[in-house]
Chains A and B, each alone.
Chain A
Amino acid sequence: ETGVTQSPTHLIKTRGQQVTLRCSSQSGHNTVSWYQQALGQGPQFIFQYYREEENGRGNFPPRFSGLQFPNYSSELNVNALELDDSALYLCASSLSTDYGYTFGSGTRLTVV
C-alpha cells in the first residue's frame, strides 16, 4: 500500500503570489487534513476534508483554501502569500480517526 505523497517537496514564492500544494492520500483513506508547521513548532491544523467537503477548520484566514477530489487527493491553495506563510505544510490522511493519521513528508514553502 502506498503512503501519503506530497508535491512539490520544496517551493520558493514571492510575497503576494498564490501557491497550490498537492497531496495524494493513502489508498482507501477518505479524510485528509492539512497542517502548517513553522520552524521549531508543532504542526497547526489548517482544515480537513471528508468525501470532498470541508469538515473542520483551524484558525487560518480565508486566503487558505482547499479542495478534495473524488479520488480523495487534495489541494491546499494559499492566496496573497505573506512572509509568515513560510513553513512546512503537511498533509495527513485517515480512514477513521480511531486509527490516527498517516502523514506525508511535507512541502517546504519559502516566501521571499
Chain B
Amino acid sequence: DAKTTQPPSMDCAEGRAANLPCNHSTISGNEYVYWYRQIHSQGPQYIIHGLKNNETNEMASLIITEDRKSSTLILPHATLRDTAVYYCIVMDNYGQNFVFGPGTRLSVLP
C-alpha cells in the first residue's frame, strides 16, 4: 500500500503557481520525500526531493511541514507542458524501493 495520499486531480491556470499537496503521516525520521512526474506514459521524471528543510531547484520548490507529515510541491509558473501525473513518494519499509500511489493528475489550462 502507498504510504502517501494525494488528491486525484487538480487544475491550474497557465502562468499561475501550482501547489500540489501530499500527506505522508507515517514517514519515519530518516526517510526522504521524493516527487516525480509522468507525462503521457513516459517514464517518471525526477523533480525534487527533501528530508526536513525546504528545497528549491530549477523545476520546483518543496515545502515540508515541521512535523514532516505533509509536504507541498510548488511549480511557480505552470505551463501547458507541466500537465502530467505527479507522484509524491517515500520508500518502502526496507528503505529500498519507491511505493507509488495513484498520484495527482495536474491539468494546466490555457
What is the interface of chain A, defined by CB distance below 8 A to chain B? Answer: 4, 33, 35, 37, 41-45, 48, 55-56, 58, 88, 90, 92, 97-106, 108
Contact = CB atoms under 8 A, between A and B. Distances in A.
Chain B facing A: main interface SS: loop
A55 B101 contact: no
Interface of B: 2, 32, 34, 36, 41-46, 49, 87, 91-92, 94-103
Contacts of B101: 42
B96 A55 contact: yes
B96 A103 contact: no
B43 A90 contact: yes
Given A43-B98, A45-B98, A103-B43, 20 more contacts: A33-B98, A41-B102, A42-B2, A42-B100, A42-B101, A42-B102, A43-B100, A44-B100, A45-B92, A56-B92, A88-B41, A92-B43, A98-B32, A99-B49, A100-B36, A103-B45, A104-B43, A105-B42, A106-B42, A108-B41
A97 B91 contact: yes
A90 B38 CA distance: 12
A100 B49 contact: yes
Contacts of B103: 42
A99 B32 CA distance: 9
B43 A56 contact: no
A106 B43 contact: yes
Contacts of B98: 33, 35, 43, 45, 92, 100-101
A32 to B, nearest CB: 11
Given A42-B87, A42-B103, A105 B94 contact: no
